[in-house]
Homo-oligomer: A and B are copies of this chain.
C-alpha cells in the first residue's frame, strides 16, 4: 500500500501528487442520475465494480438504490464482500478450481452469481459449490455481437441453462448479455443499432429457453454508452453500468443526442499533477505519466484550463503545451487531468481523495486495486 496522498480537511492545493481525485458533487450527481433513470425505466441497477474497485463507492451506489454490484474477477468479489457488499455477480467466466473455491467461500456471506459459456465450467462450479455447501447463481453468457465470451446460439444457451438448472449447488438466474463493442461507437444511432441487434439475439434466446420451460429471472448487461437502449428495451432488466460515476475522455468523445457530445454525466475523476519542470515558456512538465493514468485510449485532457494541452506522456511525466492564449504555468502549480480511460487508471491507485469545494472530505481505499486473479 502506497502513501496516502492527503489528509481530511486539506485544501486541494496541498494534496500530494500524483493523486486520484473525485469531485464529490459531480460524483453524487452522476450516482443519482443513473439511479433515477433505472427507477423510471423499472429496471434494476447493478453497477460495475471493475470501474471503481472500491467498497465505499459500491455501498453508496447501493444506498442510492442499486441491488448489488457486478465485477469481473474473484479478487474483486472478495474485496466487495469484505467491504460489506452482500450481492455480487461476477459478470464473467471463472476458470480453475482454486478460483471457484474462493468464490464459493464468499457465498457463505453474500449472494454470489457467475457466468457460464461452457458445460465443463458448470460441472466445475457445481463441485465447488457442493463442497462448500453453498448455492451459486448461474447466468448463461450469450454473445450479442462482441465476439468475446458467450455462447453463439440460442440452442447452445438452452443446453447450458438446462445443465445449470440440473447442477447441484447452482441456481439458474438468467442471461448475461453485454455488448461492449457498442459502448464507444461514435454516434448514438450506431449505438442504438448495435443494441437492437443484440436485443434480437436476447429475444431469440429467451424464446428458446421458454420453449424448454426455463424462465430468465435476470437479463443483465448494458454500459454507460448504451444504457438507455437496454433499459427501455423491455428485455434487459438489470444494468451493469460502470463508467457513469466518473466519465472519462473516451466517453466524452462519443456523440450524444442531436449533434452534441455525450454529456449525460459529469467528469468526476481526475489525476492531480504538479508542474515539476518549466524551462521554456511554451511547455510545462507535470509529475504524472503512464503510472498515474492509462494511455491506451489516448492522452488525458487538462481540465478547465483553456489553451493547455497534454502533448506527450512517458512513465512518470506529462508534457503540457501552453498555447499562446493560455494562462501561464509556474513550477509547483497543480492541474487536474481527465483520464483517457477511467477503469485502468483507477487500477493504478490505492486511494481516492474525495474533494468538495476545494477541501478533502473523504479518503476511500481502492481495495480491489490489482485484484485480477
Contact = CB atoms under 8 A, between A and B. Distances in A.
A342 to B, nearest CB: 10
Contact of A95 (B92, B117, B332): B332
Contacts of A370: 2, 291, 348-350, 369
A149 B2 contact: no
A295 to B, nearest CB: 3
A44 to B, nearest CB: 22
Interface in A106-150: 117-118, 120-121, 143, 147-150
A145 to B, nearest CB: 13
Copies of the chain in the assembly: 2
Contacts of A288: 372
Given A280-B152, A348-B370, A372-B292, A72 B147 contact: no
Nearest to A18: B372
A93 B276 contact: yes
A284 to B, nearest CB: 10
A46 interface: no
A195 B114 CA distance: 54
Given A152-B279, A152-B280, A291 B373 contact: no
A45 to B, nearest CB: 20
A373 B332 CA distance: 14
B3 A118 contact: no
A18 B149 CA distance: 17
A223 to B, nearest CB: 11
Contacts of A52: none
A75 B149 CA distance: 39
Interface of A: 1-3, 5, 16-19, 50, 72-73, 75, 92-96, 98-99, 117-118, 120-121, 143, 147-152, 156, 180, 274-280, 283, 285, 287-288, 290-292, 294-296, 312-317, 319, 331-332, 341, 343-344, 347-350, 369-373
27 contacts: A2-B373, A3-B371, A5-B373, A16-B99, A19-B373, A73-B316, A92-B316, A93-B277, A95-B274, A95-B287, A95-B332, A117-B277, A118-B279, A143-B279, A147-B283, A148-B319, A149-B277, A152-B279, A180-B314, A290-B341, A290-B343, A291-B347, A294-B294, A294-B295, A348-B370, A349-B370, A350-B370
